[in-house]
Amino acid sequence: MKAGVDIGEVVATLQRCLPEEGFLALHEPAFEGNEWAYVKECLDTGWVSSVGKYVDTFEEKLAAFTGVGRAVAVVNGTAALHVALLLVGVEPGDEVLIPTLTFIATANAIAYCGAVPHLVDSEERTLGLDPHKLDAYLHEVAEVREAGCFNRHTGRRIKAVVPMHTFGHPVDLDPLAAVCERFRLALVEDAAEALGSYYKGCHTGHWGRVSVLSFNGNKTITTGGGGAVLTNDEELGRRAKHLTTTAKVPHRWEYRHDQIGYNYRLPNINAALGCAQLEQLPRFLEQKRQLAARYEAAFQGFEGARFVTEPDFARSNYWLNALLLDVGSEAARDGLLSATNDANIMTRPVWTLMHKLPMYAACPRMDLSVAAGLEQRLINIPSSAFLGVSEAATCSDR
């Protein structure tokens, strides 16, 4: 097998898998159900803001789909993660373990708490946090005391770990949960990208004390902007609702607030959109799996690159599809990005690693060599659900 990757052949392979006409975005929303009707009802009745029947319905339907005890809808995934960290007791000066390969919201939510991101490595199998490498690292740098887990080098408490399910592929959660128990760490799942993803037959979001979802415009379903806090702990669910509604104590007319709260409520008009999208979620997921299967077949045995597939213990929603260049083909990445975008096929690299950003460059970190390699080799390719059923999209020769 020759070394390197043929950029022209990658472009041609993608073109055979995708429609020929127009610019293909990375991930577009689809509004093919009751969106217009539900949003119009909000406009007709005037219930467009922070209360209304669609907020309650959306939360109930989210809880039912994921199987969790309680879902609390909020304005975006970052707000959900901020609240989730507060709920598990993250305080100013604490450290929170997160993968350096993540979207910046994961780190920012920690900073909002006055806490410090502690950056850890990923594994190639899942693209997410490596629980085994983390375990070995914590045995070297962490000390468990009566008051919790502490970093021997910084003296700070290590309070929590936040695995992020990259592109919808679940992290290996059972060994991570064991690490959390061993080192007395709170587990908060960043499942922002993982609605419809399952770990060992159970929907993501059940391993942490709390977990979060995102419904940004590029997610599997969208509310325009939006997110949710998920939990099986009824008391944490109640506190999540209270914190995200400005910590207002219920009263017929008085404005009483019993702690610092946040105006993170999801408006009813956005929740209406979400209810319509949830009705179509099973179809979206099936379409996305059809697209992923097409990509996998097209890149089977491909020289210099492979299509990223779900780990064997999981069922992924394939939120964002990705190609992973072989080791030694890193230099082709930018050429591929340029050539595909020139061909009206939107592609992009993975996020800049957190430790390379100026505000997080001084954060404590372990060896990050796997994540560093992944950053240079990952390329996202078009992933919209409608591409999974396009009659024009086949991987046979045109």
Mean of per-residue pLDDT scores for the chain = 95
Q: What is the pLDDT of residues 272-327, one digit of tens each?
A: 999 999 999 999 999 999 999 999 999 999 999 999 999 999 999 999 999 999 99
Please state, in angstroms and rounded to a whole number, the distance separating the CA atoms of residues 36 and 43.
10
Percent of the chain with pLDDT over 90: 95
Looking at the DSSP bridge assignments, the partners of residue 150 are 143, 157
Pair 276, 302: CB distance under 8 Å: no
In angstroms, the CA 123 to CA 130 distance is 5
Locate the domains of the chain by residue range. Answer: 7-30+281-388, 35-277
Contact 345, 15 (CB under 8 A): yes
pLDDT, position 294: 97
Taking the CA atoms of residue 385, residue 213, residue 230 and residue 239 in that order, the dihedral angle to the nearest 10 degrees is: -150
Q: Which pLDDT band, with edges at 50, 70 and 90, does 124 fall under?
A: very high
Closest CA to 117 of 150, 84, 93: 93
Per-residue model confidence as pLDDT tens digits over 134-167: 999 999 999 999 999 999 999 999 999 999 999 9
Distance CA 170, CA 269 (A): 31
Residue 21 binned pLDDT confidence (cut-offs 50, 70, 90): confident
* Rounded-to-integer distance, Cα 332 and Cα 305, Å: 10
Which residue type sits at 209? R
Residue 380 · residue 320 · CB < 8 Å: yes
What's the pLDDT tens digit per position in 39-82?
999 999 999 998 899 999 999 999 999 999 999 999 999 999 99
Closest CA to 225 of 237, 214, 239: 214
- Can you give the length of the chain in residues? 398
How far is residue 128's CA from residue 319's CA, in Å, rounded to a whole number? 14
| Backbone phi, psi, residue 340, to 5° | -70, -45
Check whether 396 has a pLDDT greater than 80: no
Fold of 35-277: Aspartate Aminotransferase; domain 2 (3.40.640)
Which pLDDT score is estimated for 139? 98
Q: Any idea which architecture 7-30+281-388 has in CATH?
A: Alpha-Beta Complex (3.90)
Instruction: Report the alpha-carbon distance of residue 205 to residue 230 in Å, rounded.
Output: 7
Look at the pTM and tell me if it is higher than 0.75. Answer: yes
User: Other C-beta atoms within 10 Å of 348: how many?
Assistant: 15
Degrees, nearest 5: CA angle 320-322-323: 170
Q: Which ranges of 311-394 does DSSP label H, i.e. alpha helix?
A: 333-342, 369-377
Amino acid at 260: I
The per-residue pLDDT for 389 is 84
Q: Rounded to 5 degrees, what are φ and ψ at 322? A: -145, 145
